[in-house]
Structure 1
Amino acid sequence: MSQVHVTLPPGVTIRDPSGNRYTIESLLGRGESGAVYLVRERRLQRMFVLKEVIDPSTQDRERVTFEGEVLKHLKHRALPRVYRIFEHEKLRRVYLLMDYVTGNNLEDLYRRQPAQRFAVSVAFTLLAPVVDALSYLHMQKPPIVHRDIKPANIIISASSGETVLVNFGIAKHYIPDATTALIRRGTPGYAAPEHYMGGTSPRTDIYGLGATFYTLLTGVVPPDVITRIMKNNKGSDPLKFAHQLNPLVPESLSEALRRAMAINAAERFATVKEFWWELTRQA
């Protein structure tokens, strides 16, 4: 089996250049070019998330190092802290060490609600910290685009009780327009057309944020954007207005969500702040 596809089993210890040792507790997830582990720091017995890029090329190694250094300097209450990035030459892997955020994610929580959706006021409260975090990311130079905004990537922290935006990945370099992209691709229903066609920007996150808000208010995941494009070319967009699925959603709010999820990025709100201002004005 190629080493690219080999993940490390529980019990293996990874040592960083400073001598800190991290024991793998479990595998949290894996992808084509890496994995995510829950690890325990041996000295302090503290839990962390360890992101791994397996057998990177020279270009990938430089890109991962650059983006890791960018993430290390981020400080926001709704974002997990990134502490260090290091390389294990023997294993041919690059690692990113960050906070382990415990708690329930919004996908699980909205499905547990009696109507499998949140009240408008509750959705606003839950997403307010995430909106602030996205604005913070987009104001970085170059802007940082998360590219995988969805309910499953928003956790209500067990320690703070507030929502935290998680799942920053490092998989594929993308800075043609001077933005730093931290996720290879998005999730169907929440991913904008740019995920498939290239040219992501902060407006890509606006699409994902709009789709997330839509799901929390309706209990329905929006149609995949490829399906939308195909049917829209025939004159019928399958994306229903939120108020059609939940009559408690004001029509004006529903229209703002629709604009945020416009197929054409230029038709969306220019910034997260502009989108949020319009939402709060219409609620």
Structure 2
Amino acid sequence: MLDDGSATQPHPQRGGRRLSPGDVIADRYRIVRALGRGSFGHTYLAVDTAASDREVAVKQLRTDGDSGWKAFELFEREAAALRSLRHHGIPEIFDHLRETAGDALSAYLVMEYIDGVSLEQRIDGGASLDPAALLRVALGLLDILEYLHTRVPPVLHRDIKPANVLLRPDGAPALVDFGAVRTVFRAAEEGGSTVVGTFGYMPIEQTMGQASPASDLYAVGATLLHLITRRPPSEFASRDGVVEVPVELPGGAVVRGVIARLLAPAASARYQSAREVREALLVPVHGGATAPSGTVALARVQPTMSTLAPTPRALAGELRTRFDQVTLSPIRLLFADHHPSQPLSAAQRSLMVLLGLMSLGLAPLVFWIFYNARRTRARPFFLHGVAVSGRILQVQKTEWIQVTYEFIHAGATRRGVDTIIPAVAGRWQPGDVIELLVLPERNYDSIIITST
């Protein structure tokens, strides 16, 4: 019997069936192969035959008597947590099932399959990350935690470690295994918090059942330390359990200082939010305090930007050149993978003409509409906008590429989104610095004007 988990179930007395390639769950999820194994169950790659054989990950919990009931509760908690979360760094849940046969019970989570390797696998394989890749992992984890910790009430993961961080093919991290998740504020009848976590990655307050957002940040620091040194954080712990970060940590003083503060024994001495950590990592980007001599900063240097004339300014000279680069002509839009600085070949121009003839002029018209809309939107920014530097948070491929970024204006940090052609944005990574034009009077609407 299968159900959706809404009915109350008795305590399971023995585990459910073992799955093999070819087995089918709920008449739709066909098992392909095993992906991993945990203390209480297994994860499998499967195809959803009711959704055009979409690949999914099926997490199965097999309980055995009362000893497995706590694991079942954690599994149910993971299902409930994932249902309510929507973030690119958190696997999407598609289904939640229970299967009973007599006194045997199995529970299943069907979720997004992430085709990637864990940080633990990278470490065990001896692979190291270059500074740009390390930055992407750090910023990606911080972005996920900022999302979780700013939910109402805040959501804590409580088990961040290399094994629970997967790297997608494009290098972006995803946080998995939400079995230990809980909200910070709970009903009085729930009592104290269950101690869940992994030794070496959880701070002292979490071992006492008093986890907070700062506890998750501690785990990020321990994970980054393990990733950089390829040694578990427990190897750096003193007799009293304090993790002592090596003085000569690869990455320099900026990285070491951030990780050392993340791993402070007292929660009050750590950063109190993911945003604080991000700003500390990227001090060179926003022109903060100068890093000590010899520091290898994670962020790239800030570009120089020409001084703009007072508003309203004339769209001429260098400003007009940048405007034309940002608002590409219809033929440039057709070849969106071709970098704007490179001239189009005769064959490409001929293809545009041929496409126009074959579509009776419809294709050029469509590209002209996009071109005109982009120029119409960009013009007020070039005539009246304030020039600022921003930092990329996320590069997401859509029909073109959608870039999410943040910038500081008038002492406040703000976010924006712009759609950029692949030839330009395809070379960007989270943490890269870009140039923006902002209209404060339009609720800080902004556009990207970097074209290289």
TM-score in terms of structure 2 length: 0.50
Please state whether the residue corresponding to 1:244 is helix, strand or coil.
Answer: coil
Residue among 248, 255, 258 paired with 1:256 = 258
Identity of matched residues, %: 26
Q: Which residue of 2 aligns with 1:207?
A: 218
Q: Which of 1 and 2 has higher RCO (CA within 8 Å, sep 6+)? A: 1
CA contact (8 A) 2:157 2:181 kept: no
Residue among 17, 27, 34 paired with 2:34 = 27
CA contact (8 A) 1:52 1:94 kept: yes
| Cα drift, residue 174 of structure 1 | 5.3
| Cα drift, residue 185 of structure 1 | 3.6
| Cα drift, residue 38 of structure 1 | 2.1
* C-alpha distance 174-40 of structure 1, shift in aligned 2 (>3 A): same
* C-alpha distance 63-31 of structure 1, shift in aligned 2 (>3 A): closer
Please state whether the residue corresponding to 1:220 is helix, strand or coil.
Answer: coil
Q: Which residue of 1 aligns with 2:229?
A: 218
CA contact (8 A) 1:7 1:35 kept: no
Query: Please, which runs of 5 or more residues in structure 2 have no aligned partner?
Result: 1-12, 188-193, 284-290, 292-296, 298-452
Q: Which residue of 2 aligns with 1:46?
A: 54
* C-alpha distance 33-255 of structure 1, shift in aligned 2 (>3 A): same
Paired amino acid for 2:48: E
| Cα drift, residue 200 of structure 1 | 2.0
| Cα drift, residue 61 of structure 1 | 6.3
Matched, 1:276 2:278: yes
CA contact (8 A) 1:38 1:50 kept: yes
Paired amino acid for 2:252: V
* C-alpha distance 175-76 of structure 1, shift in aligned 2 (>3 A): closer
Aligned length: 262
Matched, 1:93 2:101: no
Single out whichever of 38-47 and 26-35 deviates more from structure 2: 26-35
Paired amino acid for 1:99: E
CA contact (8 A) 1:5 1:32 kept: no
| Cα drift, residue 192 of structure 1 | 2.7
CA–CA distance in 2 between the matches of 1:176 and 1:134?
A: 13
Higher Rg? 2
* C-alpha distance 62-253 of structure 1, shift in aligned 2 (>3 A): closer
TM-score in terms of structure 1 length: 0.76
Paired amino acid for 1:33: F
* C-alpha distance 151-63 of structure 1, shift in aligned 2 (>3 A): closer
| Cα drift, residue 67 of structure 1 | 4.6
Residue among 119, 132, 137 paired with 1:106 = 119
Please state whether the residue corresponding to 2:59 is helix, strand or coil.
Answer: strand
Question: After superposition, where does 1:125-274 map in structure 2 within 5 Å?
Answer: 125-158=136-169, 161-170=170-179, 177-178=185-186, 185-223=196-234, 228=238, 231-232=239-240, 237=242, 239-241=244-246, 243-246=247-250, 248-250=251-253, 252-274=254-276
Paired amino acid for 1:203: A
| Cα drift, residue 149 of structure 1 | 1.9
CA contact (8 A) 1:85 1:95 kept: yes
| Cα drift, residue 111 of structure 1 | 6.1
Paired amino acid for 1:166: L
Paired amino acid for 1:239: E
Deviations 1:114-152 (A, max 9, x none): xx5434343112322221111111122332222222333
Paired amino acid for 1:38: L
CA contact (8 A) 2:78 2:181 kept: no
* C-alpha distance 184-72 of structure 1, shift in aligned 2 (>3 A): farther
Give the alignment's Cα RMSD to 1 decimal.
Answer: 3.5
CA–CA distance in 1 between the matches of 2:24 and 2:60?
A: 14
Deviations 1:71-119 (A, max 9, x none): 1232212221111212223342222111110123334445667xx5434
Paired amino acid for 1:249: G
Paired amino acid for 2:162: P
Question: After superposition, where does 1:12-23 map in structure 2 within 5 Å?
Answer: 12-15=23-26, 20-23=27-30
CA contact (8 A) 1:169 1:184 kept: no
